[in-house]
Structure 1
Amino acid sequence: MNHDDSTGLAAFTFDLTADESRRRAEVVAGLGEHWDPVAALSGEDEAYALLYSGLDAEQQRTYDMLVAAGVLPGEGPGRAAPH
């Protein structure tokens, strides 16, 4: 810890690397050994496609505007088509 006499404050740093590694390990352990990330992503894509399917013309314009503005993700890798 360094002390800065001009401000009277002490510089303090804390490395969270070990904590973050432990947290991530606990998350993966909590998911269990039968968790399938490919199936989970596929399920998310299916849910996304259902969420934005069957839009009327006005809803579709709003959706397209939000995608163009970057508010919603558009079609692409890992993302199902909304139509």
Structure 2
Amino acid sequence: MSSFGPVLPGEPDEPAEASEPAGAREPAADPAVGFEPVEFTVDLTSHEMLRRTHALAALGPDWDPVAALRGEQEAYDLLYSGLDAEQQRVYDELVAAGVLPRRGGGHAAA
């Protein structure tokens, strides 16, 4: 029996109806395709757990998620500091629209 694709005529595990003449069988659901669609699912749960394990191993035992988050917040504060008047206006519009969170005391420079 083929490990991939449909069972070919004459193979040991061929279903009995497959050996009937083509005219005796019911037509496929989609004549352009020539065969019935088959549901196909893949469970990647174990692969995802392995990926996470490798990612945490790559970060090392010294990785501190709280310090990383704090550093990210500091980087955002620097990103939005020292804006000129036009940049500040755009920043305020984005905050008002809910695109960016308000930082500091109502100004981009925190």
Under TM normalisation by the shorter chain, which class is it?
0.7 to 0.9
Are 1:46 and 2:46 matched, yes or no?
A: no
Residue 69 of structure 1 deviates from its aligned partner by: 3.2
Question: How far apart are 1:52 and its partner, in Å?
Answer: 0.4
Q: Which residue of 1 aligns with 2:5?
A: none
Q: How does 1:17-36 map to 2 (within 5 A)?
A: 17-36=45-64
Residue 101 of structure 2: aligned partner: 74
Query: Equivalent pairs: percent with the same residue?
Result: 58
Q: What residue identity is the alignment partner of 2:87?
A: Q
RCO (CA 8 Å, sep 6+): is it higher in 1 or 2?
A: 1
- Code of the residue aligned with 1:45 in structure 2: it is Q
Give the gaps of 5 or more residues in structure 1.
Answer: none
Cα RMSD of the aligned pairs, angstroms, is 1.7
The question of 1:6 aligning with 2:6 is answered no
Structure 2 unpaired stretches of 5+: 1-27, 31-35
**1:9 positional shift:** 1.1
Instruction: Output the TM-score relative to the length of structure 1.
Output: 0.76
For residues 29 and 95 of structure 2, the distance between their equivalents in structure 1, rounded to whole angstroms, comes to 50
Q: Matched residue of 1:33: which SS?
A: coil
Deviation, 1:58, is 1.1
Alpha-carbon distance in 1 for matches of 2:52, 2:83 = 38
Runs in 1 of length 4+ with deviation above 2 angstroms?
A: 66-71, 80-83
Aligned residue identity for 1:66: L
Which residue does the alignment assign to 2:33? Answer: none
CA distance in 2, matches of 1:14, 1:69: 40
Total equivalences in the alignment: 74
Bigger helix fraction: 1
